Amino acid sequence: MPIIVNLDVVLAQRKMSLSEFSEKVGITLANASILKTGKARAVRFSTLEKICEVLECQPGDILVYEKEGE
């Protein structure tokens, strides 16, 4: 998939656990794990907004586009 999710990197930079993150964003731990591992197929803009608010970042800090084969 050409969209790479760098949530694990941003969480490590913020020294925030996945459970703390999921609680602050208001999503289940299972859904946070799916996002972190890059297995999510979609993200609601409202969820992305809350993620950026909690992590004090921009969407581009979390989501990166890479062409297939790179």
Asked if residue 67 is part of any domain, the answer here is no
Q: Indicate the pTM of the whole model.
A: 0.88
Asked if residue 33 is part of any domain, the answer here is yes
pLDDT digits (tens, 9 = 90+) for 3-40: 999 999 999 999 999 999 999 999 999 999 999 998 99
Domain that holds residue 15: 3-59
Asked if residue 32 is part of any domain, the answer here is yes
Instruction: Say if residue 67's pLDDT is above 90.
Output: no
Instruction: Say if residue 45's pLDDT is above 70.
Output: yes
Asked if residue 21 is part of any domain, the answer here is yes
Instruction: Tell me how many domains the chain contains.
Output: 1
- Other beta carbons within 10 angstroms of residue 22's beta carbon come to 19
Asked if residue 64 is part of any domain, the answer here is no
Amino acid identity at 23 = E
pLDDT confidence band for 56 (50 / 70 / 90): very high
State the Cα–Cα distance between residues 56 and 70, nearest whole angstrom. Answer: 29
- Other beta carbons within 10 angstroms of residue 36's beta carbon come to 19
Residue 47 CA from chain centroid, whole number: 9
**Average pLDDT for residues 41-53, to the nearest whole number?**
96
Q: 19: domain CATH number?
A: 1.10.260.40
